A and B are shown apart, each in its own frame.
Chain A
Amino acid sequence: QVQLVQSGAEVKKPGASVKVSCKASGYNFTSYAIHWVRQAPGQRLEWMGWSNTGNGNTKYSQDFQGRVTLTRDTSASTAYLELSSLRYEDMAVYYCAREVYRFDVSGSLLFWGQGTLVTVSS
């Protein structure tokens, strides 16, 4: 069965960077794009970007351009989100999610990770 298992909670200081992992299993990792979505406490979902796990291409939300980097390790079937220059308002649960269809980036996200809480605190 398809599973996306994310890394554990993180506590970071303002200005630092955080890297969240998303380990996929149960399917061909390089055939499906991985999206990253975050949700601050009590707030709406925010799309951050997607990663083409096959060729490494990426697309980022303008809201995070310059601060977010999506990478992947195909040998480990793992996608990564790195967010730099952390601010207090970056405190949120970060989710990875997989598309319904192979080689698709339409935003039809059928499988989700459990979420990773990133706390920004001095």
Chain B
Amino acid sequence: QSALTQPASVSGSPGQSITISCTGTSNDIGNYNYVSWYQQHPGKAPKLIIYEVSNRPSGVSNRFSGSKSGNTASLTISGLQAQDEADYYCCSYTTSGTLLGGGTKLTVL
């Protein structure tokens, strides 16, 4: 199965905002509001930070926000902090199962 398309890396300075895109097709992101985002620090299990496009689980900072337009979903992190440096993965429901993105490495400069 093809993965959702994410940039390999993004970077930003503390306090700045960054956006990570996730491009799919009309068979996944474009047809369902079941897009989720995960943050993964080295050696740790992934952590859900956004689900159903724009919902945040309890305890997740409101600096994280999600949106979707057509076949592309986006994760925005505002007020960048050093601890935001991690890998980020998008995920979408499809009728064939669950599709994950290739992952984006966020570097906080």
Residue ranges of A at the interface with B (Cβ–Cβ < 8 Å): 35, 37, 44-47, 49-50, 59-63, 95, 97, 100, 105-110, 112-115
Q: How many A-B residue pairs have CB under 8 A?
A: 72
Q: Say yes or no: is B13 at the interface (Cβ < 8 Å to chain A).
A: no
CA gap between A103 and B47 in the complex, in Å? 21
Q: Say yes or no: is B98 at the interface (Cβ < 8 Å to chain A).
A: yes
CA gap between A63 and B3 in the complex, in Å? 11
Smallest beta-carbon distance A109→chain B, Å = 6
A46 contacts B100, CB within 8 Å? yes
A50 contacts B46, CB within 8 Å? no
* Chain B residues, CB < 8 A from A115: 45
- The answer, among B48, B93, B103, for a CB contact under 8 Å with A44, is B103
Interface SS, B side: strand
CA gap between A35 and B48 in the complex, in Å? 14
* Chain A residues, CB < 8 A from B57: 100, 110
> Assuming the A-B contacts A44-B102, A44-B103, are A107 and B46 also in contact, with contact meaning beta carbons closer than 8 angstroms in the complex?
no
* Chain B residues, CB < 8 A from A61: 1, 97-98
Q: Say yes or no: is B77 at the interface (Cβ < 8 Å to chain A).
A: no
Nearest to B92 among chain A residues (CB) is A107
A108 contacts B102, CB within 8 Å? no
Nearest to B33 among chain A residues (CB) is A106
B36 contacts A44, CB within 8 Å? no
Smallest beta-carbon distance A77→chain B, Å = 19
A44 contacts B89, CB within 8 Å? yes
15 pairs, A vs B, C-beta closer than 8 Å: A37-B46, A45-B38, A46-B100, A47-B98, A49-B97, A59-B97, A61-B97, A61-B98, A62-B1, A95-B46, A100-B48, A100-B51, A105-B98, A106-B51, A108-B48
